[in-house]
Amino acid sequence: MVVVCPLADLPPGDVRRVDVEPPIAVFHTDAGELFAVDDTCTHQDASLADGWLVGCEIECPLHASKFDLRTGAVDAPPAKRPIRTHDVSVVDGIIHVALSTAAPLAPASTGVPLDIP
């Protein structure tokens, strides 16, 4: 379990980057939900904690890839690989994150072949 910070220190709309390996980002959405995901965009090295949060979607600050914080799925390119999600809990007013045991995602090619036969 990673101890993040008191819930009171992370108001809705705010984000906290946590320097574990690999780093994670903990978001508190405007709707009041907490989500933790890998902080590094799967497209190119950029911190999603610096991104643009709209609803449950985080947009990468560099190339505007979008990820669904609930599932880690890519909602918009250029990223092709999802980000990992981590379980968040609040215990006695303190935010905790249980890091995913899934391997960080291998760089696999997931797109369709471009050439039309």
Partner 1 sequence: MKTIAVVGGSLAGLSTARALRHQGFDGRLFIISGERHRPYDRPPLSKTYLAGTVTDAEIALEAADEDLDADWRFGVTALALDPSGRRLDLSDGSALVADGVVLATGASPRSVPGTPRLAGAHVLRSVDDSRSLREDLRPGARLVVVGAGFIGAEVASTARGLGLEVVVVEAASHPLSGPIGAEMGSVVASLHTRHGVELTCGMGVVGLIGGDRVTGVALADGRVVDADVVLVGIGVRPNTEWLRGSGLAAAEGVICDAYGATPVANVVAVGDCAAWYEPALGRHVRFEHWTAARERGAIAAATLLSGGTEFRSGRPPYFWSDQYGLTIQIAGHIAGADSIVVEEGSTADCDFLAVYRRRADPVAVLAMGRGKSFMHWRRQLATAAVSARQE
Binding site for partner 1 (CB under 8 A): 46-47, 50-52, 61-64, 74, 76-78, 80, 109-116
Reported as type and span, the H/E element at residue 16 is strand 15-18
User: Least distance to partner 1 from the beta carbon of 109, Å?
Assistant: 4
Interior CA angle at 63 toward 108 and 87, to 5°? Answer: 60
Q: Locate tokens 């220190």: which residue?
A: 9
- When the beta carbons of 8 and 112 are compared against partner 1, the nearer one is 112
* CB 9, min distance to partner 1, A: 19
Rounded-to-integer distance, Cα 36 and Cα 89, Å: 10
Question: In this complex, which beta carbon is closest to partner 1, that of residue 14 or of residue 94?
Answer: 14
Distance CA 24, CA 63 (A): 19
Minimum CB distance to partner 1 smaller for 22 or for 77? 77
In the complex, the smallest distance separating the C-beta of residue 20 from partner 1, rounded to whole angstroms, is 19
